[in-house]
Homo-oligomer: A and B are copies of this chain.
């Protein structure tokens, strides 16, 4: 809910009820985004370092080399996903600001066209001109509300929270590091990579199942199926890495 909407007098909903709804929606929205970022980071973090380590182990590298490659990859991946996600979010915020400015200019310069666009949006739902005209006219009299309406219903853009870019980047990066740590853990204690890889496979498959189950639970899809799908991706990725590493090594 944008702050512009907060300023608009709500006539039909009691203020206390509305503010409860707003608060509930905002909390729900942010919690959902944090969960999504954790899922994003852990998904790749559990899978790629695991596959890389397994591939190198199969190519007869030492645990030392596997750990070197693994930790380097986790750092690089966390930075790439984290910083990349941050810049992407900032870019979206800039995009929103630009679109809003343009929409604002159109409302001032060509109000008839903008009013026709509102009409078109509502007409798609089988609403007839005599039914939607009062709505169009109400919006025309309230430029701020009209702008919010166009941003939301014509362009489908939500006003981005400036703090979310940083939060999101940080969450994804940390999640990636924690995910990546799991498969690399055995290599820190078992000097023979071909021994360590067995422990790594067991630990990581269990982690993938648990994580996949949790992912399914949190996103409301079938947790058992999600657990198997997640473990499957890890298995495929490590099989591919294993085979390619052997091929490259001849």
Interface residues of A (CB under 8 A from B): 1, 5, 8-13, 43-44, 47-48, 50-52, 55-56, 59, 61, 64-65, 67-69, 71-73, 75-77, 79-81, 83-84, 87, 91, 94-95, 98, 119-120, 122-132, 134-135, 137-139, 142, 145-146, 148-149, 152-153, 156, 158, 219-221, 226, 229, 233, 236-238, 240-242, 244-245, 248-249
Structural contact, B10 and A124, CB atoms closer than 8 A: yes
Could you write out 27 A-B pairs with CB less than 8 Å apart?
A1-B124, A8-B124, A8-B126, A10-B124, A11-B123, A12-B119, A12-B128, A47-B79, A48-B77, A52-B72, A52-B76, A55-B72, A55-B76, A56-B65, A72-B242, A72-B244, A76-B238, A83-B237, A84-B233, A87-B229, A125-B139, A126-B145, A127-B138, A131-B135, A152-B153, A153-B153, A156-B158
Checking B64, B94, B120 against A249 with a beta-carbon cut-off of 8 angstroms, the contacting residue is: B64
Return chain B residues, CB-CB under 8 Å to A69. Answer: 52, 55-56, 69, 73, 245
Contacts A56-B69, A123-B10 hold; do A138 and B131 have CB atoms under 8 A apart?
Answer: yes
Structural contact, A79 and B236, CB atoms closer than 8 A: yes
- Whole-angstrom distance from the CB of A218 to the nearest CB of chain B? 11
Contacts A48-B77, A52-B73, A56-B69 hold; do A12 and B129 have CB atoms under 8 A apart?
Answer: yes
Contacts A139-B125, A148-B125, A219-B95 hold; do A68 and B245 have CB atoms under 8 A apart?
Answer: yes
Return chain B residues, CB-CB under 8 Å to A148. Answer: 124-125
Structural contact, A48 and B73, CB atoms closer than 8 A: yes
Return chain B residues, CB-CB under 8 Å to A10. Answer: 123-124
Checking B8, B80, B135 against A132 with a beta-carbon cut-off of 8 angstroms, the contacting residue is: B135
Return chain B residues, CB-CB under 8 Å to A47. Answer: 76, 79-80, 84
Structural contact, B131 and A131, CB atoms closer than 8 A: no
Return chain B residues, CB-CB under 8 Å to A87. Answer: 229, 233
Structural contact, B83 and A233, CB atoms closer than 8 A: yes
Structural contact, B237 and A68, CB atoms closer than 8 A: no
